[in-house]
Structure 1
């Protein structure tokens, strides 16, 4: 005897229906059980709020030079002291949050965009398309990421925009390989064959039916890659190839503080702590996302 699905659902007790959480609720419950990941999420949220309200939170003009107040230690007036030009370190650190987060997100967007497109086409079409794309990816992978970024920035010239491009380029292979592998798995499923038999175009199959089903590993990789991008940008700025004076980028502030490391260590301490906490936050949150989005992780 056939029973309509709606009738079956109505026949179920309310307790049973409420005990079957939706997909996003299940994801959130799994993520919430990971205390370290939640702590990382709160750290990221804190820095996001600081970046959004930076002009309101900064007590002083981060670019205002006042040589009479240079190298003042932390006090009630300047909570994190002043630098060698008399600028308030706290104000520069707060404004620098916007720069560091912007560099990370733009660089990851560049790497994700091109990596996803290349990975989708390589995985879907295979054969010579896959061979050509993956050999290019192998060439990029042959160079250590930071060395490739150094070479690109050296060729383009030192600037924050060129740092974003450089980090984006060396992020492409990571996304391309992950997307290609996921595409190879999804395109073998029966529903893809059914959609193709109905006359759907390749582009529609790729971007409408395959891409949404491989978002989980992309989201995890993007979150983890943000930590690498922020750290790499800070490293390039530390070497003088990234943000140029007077921009208050954290890596540039750290580079400026190394000249006074033994006399006024707070100049390097505070930007170093900001970089470390944000990078660790993204790493532990990314690990938590990976566990929560993995269907094999039942507990």
Structure 2
């Protein structure tokens, strides 16, 4: 089953690469944003239910979970307004670890420092590939978000460091539990081709949806309902719909107060994703390590 899902994702990624060559301009971005705001936001919309299940104690009421969830989002949002460089670094680190953990959780390796660094290194490598291969747009957005000029050399060094970290920790993980190194290298090669041929938003959408959100949704459905079927997927959508709707509507309401600039809009978009990412990463770490 796992191999079949992987094959489908590879085919879908090549299809996404074809789309990047034949569907140009704003329409491609519209499709990307549609995918992100539908499946992408949906995969983090059931966090409150997941938190209650993962931390199953009598004292953990819905109100306590909701207030804790909103508090974490509030702290993340405040950081982006007060010290944006620190907030951006935390967002990238949290997201990188989360991407790596989701991609390799099938290994079921011990949750030690080596596995943590492996997840972090791999996720950071993927994120930096997206940024580096779309450097012009990426650096404009980063500079707008944090008010600090970041050069291409910074991305180049992060790419090198993350690659070295992934290789070293990956070798150590491989000694404990064998995995198909060649297929993982093929995936990275495929990602690189897609990121190089596509713009920033389409590159992010393809990886975020196909290689992160969909597998995460499957894991969450399995965790909550013990199996992934048409019926349990519908149950998941019903239980998360109101949170998804609030997130999407809230974003578009806040957008109305921004100046009509693509760079400003994109910087706010990634800031919004960052704010809702922090609590999601924490609860998924709890679920995946159990």
Q: Which has the larger radius of gyration?
A: 1
TM-score with structure 1 setting the length: 0.26
TM-score with structure 2 setting the length: 0.26
Structure 1 or 2: more helix by fraction: 2
